[in-house]
Amino acid sequence: MNIIIVGCGKVGSTIANQLCNEGYDVTVIDNNPNKLRAVSDGMDAMAMVGDGTSYTTLREAGIENADVLIAVTDSDEKNLLCCVIGKRTGNLAAIARVRNPVYSNEREFLQKGFGLAMLINPESAGAEEMGRIFRFPSAIDIETFAKGKIELLTVRIPEKSLLAGKPLTYIHQKLRTDVLVAVVRRKGQVIIPSGDFVIEAGDLVSVIAEHEQAHEFFRKIGIETHWVRDVMIIGGGKMTYYMAKNLAASGIGIKIIEKDLKRSEVLSELLPDAEIICGDGTDEDLLLEEGIEKVDGVAAVTGMDEQNIMLTLFARSQSDNVKTVTKVGKLSFTKVIDSLDLGSVVNPKETTAEYIIQFVRSMRASMGSNVENLYKIANGEAEAIEFHVTEKTRAVSIPLVKLNTKKNILIGKIFRNGRAFTPTGHDSIEVGDSVILVVLSKDKIRDLDDILAY
């Protein structure tokens, strides 16, 4: 597939890097040669200096033969114009990033009117992710497969968990729940575990299960799964607006602390179900006065990463049970941030890039490849991949115990005829199945038959 990306900021470069690694033909356009140089030096992408809203520039980039055009400049209007020119010139799927809430509220009209395949708002996407986390507060990350039927949830094992000190065989033999521990992250090491692997308190564990099974499993091992009742949001920007609407619709109480008076007044009008406090969210006395130690959830979403991190650490110091979500805008220092035990960290730019990449993968699946979903987990060192099984798959109708698979390949779930199950060695993969694999990213599994050692 031929992909043209207009805009070489953090989102554009992240998308370009990932798609290049997955074997797509990528061309990146930006009017800043320094940004392009930084990107092209580290990946196999064609770089063009120019204006992505120029018909001439797009033609030189091969717009007439492109399959996807992704416009992620810092201007909503440029992104929309770029997509309109691309649609008029070539037979492609056009994706535009927009940040203005006015455009987001008119998403359906713009998509139909301009013929866009996707219109994505980073703040709205980040808010949706935060909303999912507050609905399952023990999870650090949540991804879905098989059209939402199967979930991959990442949690930290607490000290008093029933699972701490037990081998994974304990889950099925004693707990009798159909969940699979897919990845364990321990002291910077990423492990795809076998059945005799022993879980320790403090491990970051990613499990694959159906929704109800996941709740039952976490309840049995002593991890709370109930929704939060109320959330304090510190910072009153666009993401706060989207998140507050999302959470209030679920019946969750909302308190927003915003220091700008005019913005506080706007939020009061837009969010009648939320309590708006005009004050400095970095003032410890104010936070304590407003009951930060009593709320179930705290979201730090100011415009400064460092401030958000400190606010989260303060909230966690005041309550052992609070669920915290931290907005981080920079894509660097992930290992340092992970070591701080902030709970859940949401990066709107990363979320936006991931949504767009997911769309491109689904397009590719419809063009012959059988990858339906691919999620990076464990700081990108492992992947959970959903494949659709076709007649061309060599691994069909062979008992898994007889498949000669490569090392570090975990067949997590099979989804067949509306039912998901964890396969045993006697089960086989059949045409029409959705199969979820967990692999190390370095192994670059991009086809189901890539798991075979011959």
pLDDT in tens, 90-102: 889 999 999 888 8
Report the alpha-carbon distance of residue 310 to residue 214 in Å, rounded. 32
Cα gap 120→197, rounded to integer Å: 41
For residue 75, the model assigns a pLDDT of 94
pLDDT of 62 > 90? The answer is yes
Give the global pTM.
0.73
Overall fold of domain 128-220: Alpha-Beta Plaits (3.30.70)
What does the alpha-carbon distance between residue 438 and residue 411 come to, in Å, rounded to a whole number? 7
Residue 368 has pLDDT above 70, yes or no: no
CA distances from 3 to 35, 62, 67 (A): 18, 9, 6
* 351-451 has CATH 3.30.70.1450 classification: yes
**What per-residue confidence (pLDDT) applies to 60?**
94
Q: In what order do the strands lie in the sheet with 180-186?
A: 141-145, 150-156, 204-210, 180-186, 189-191
pLDDT, averaged across the chain: 87
Q: Give, as one character, the DSSP assignment of residue 173.
A: I
| Degrees, nearest 5: CA angle 250-307-320 | 55
According to CATH, what is the number of the domain 2-120? 3.40.50.720
Q: How confident is the model at residue 400 (pLDDT cuts 50, 70, 90)?
A: very high
Is the pLDDT confidence value at 262 over 80?
A: yes
| CATH of segment(s) 230-346 | 3.40.50.720
Length of the chain: 454
The residue type of 99 is R
**pLDDT bucket at 194, cuts 50 / 70 / 90:** confident
Give Cβ neighbours of residue 386 (< 8 Å, ≥ 6 apart). Answer: 145, 146, 371, 372, 373, 374, 434, 435, 436
Task: Name the residue with higher pLDDT: 144 or 333.
Answer: 144
Contact 342, 312 (CB under 8 A): yes
For 303, phi and psi rounded to 5 degrees?
Answer: -85, 0
Q: Alpha-carbon Rg of the chain, whole angstroms?
A: 23
Report the distance separating Cα 6 and Cα 27, nearest Å: 8
Whether the pLDDT of residue 444 is over 80: the answer is no
Residues of the chain with CATH 3.40.50.720: 2-120, 230-346
pLDDT of residue 366: 53
Q: Tell me which of 399 and 141 has the higher pLDDT.
A: 399
Structure confidence at residue 250 (pLDDT)? 83
Q: Please identify which residue in the block is written with the tokens 């992240």.
A: 14
Of 64, 116, 77, 66, give the one whose Cα is nearest residue 95: 116
First to last CA, the chain: 27
Q: What is the mean pLDDT of residues 400-409?
A: 88
Task: Locate CATH 3.30.70.1450 in the chain.
Answer: 128-220, 351-451
**Residue range 202-213, pLDDT digits in tens:** 899 999 988 778
**What is the rounded average pLDDT of the residues 129-136?**
84
Q: pLDDT above 70 covers what percent of the chain?
A: 96
Whole-angstrom distance, CA of residue 343 vs CA of residue 257: 21
Token readout for 372 is: 């339906």
Q: Report residue 132's pLDDT band, with 50, 70 and 90 as the boundaries.
A: confident
Q: Which residue has the tokens 């009117």?
A: 113
DSSP annotation of 226 reads: P
Please write down the HEC assignment for all residues of 413-451.
Answer: EEEECCEEECCCCCCEECCCCEEEEEEEHHHCCCCHHHH
Q: CA 278, 280, 283 angle in degrees (round to 5)?
A: 135
The predicted structure's pLDDT at residue 367:
54
Residues 18 and 4: their CA atoms lie apart, in Å, by: 14
